[in-house]
């Protein structure tokens, strides 16, 4: 199996069986995101204690890439610091928009690197991360329009 097929398999698995796909009762942060190009919608929930993301979850609907990206993101965030989350956001965004070597620090998140070859889908993959940034800023009712993409 080549690496691209393997990545595709991980994405489809996360789309079919999304991790952390539920409303969080004991949340400290929350934000909603919408990608009008594709119709993807997400709400991201976080429980942050002492600068550590103790729990992360999401609900939403949309294409396979947007849902898989949110699933992978929430899985990766648990136990990480807020600073690490910001760093990943920037690295993930760069991975999909710039011609640079892919940072190894992104771990499993690199499975979405292939999305770069489909520019129309980049916003699907980054929606979860833009929504995360909004949640970290305690923006509880704003809709990310992804103007920075
Ligand atoms: Zn999409």
Ligand 1 centroid – CA 30 distance (Å): 21
Question: If we measure between CA atoms, which residue out of 23, 26, 59 comes closest to residue 43?
Answer: 59
Q: Give dist(CA 2, CA 86) in Å, integer.
A: 31
* DSSP SS3 for 140: coil
Give the pTM: 0.90
Ligand 1 centroid – CA 51 distance (Å): 31
Say if residue 141's pLDDT is above 70: no
SS3 content of the chain, % helix, strand, coil (to 5): 50, 20, 30
Ligand 1 centroid – CA 41 distance (Å): 9
* Residues surrounding ion ligand 1 at CB below 5 Å: 38, 40, 63, 66, 124
Tens digits of per-residue pLDDT, 32-85? 999 999 999 999 999 999 999 999 999 999 999 999 999 999 999 999 999 999
């Amino acid at each position: 199996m080549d690496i691209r097929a393997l990545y595709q398999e991980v994405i489809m698995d996360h789309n079919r069986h999304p991790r952390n796909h539920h409303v969080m009762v004991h949340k400290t942060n929350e934000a909603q995101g919408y990608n009008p190009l594709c119709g993807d919608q997400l709400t991201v929930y976080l429980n942050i204690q002492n600068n550590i993301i103790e729990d992360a979850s999401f609900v939403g609907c949309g294409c396979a890439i947007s849902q898989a990206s949110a699933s992978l993101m929430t899985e990766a965030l648990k136990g990480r610091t807020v600073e690490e989350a910001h760093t990943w956001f920037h690295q993930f965004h760069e991975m999909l928009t710039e011609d640079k070597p892919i940072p190894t620090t992104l771990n499993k998140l690199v499975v979405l690197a292939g999305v770069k070859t489909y520019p129309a889908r980049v916003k699907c993959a980054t929606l979860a991360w833009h929504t995360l940034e909004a949640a970290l800023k305690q923006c509880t009712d704003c809709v990310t329009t992804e103007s920075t993409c």
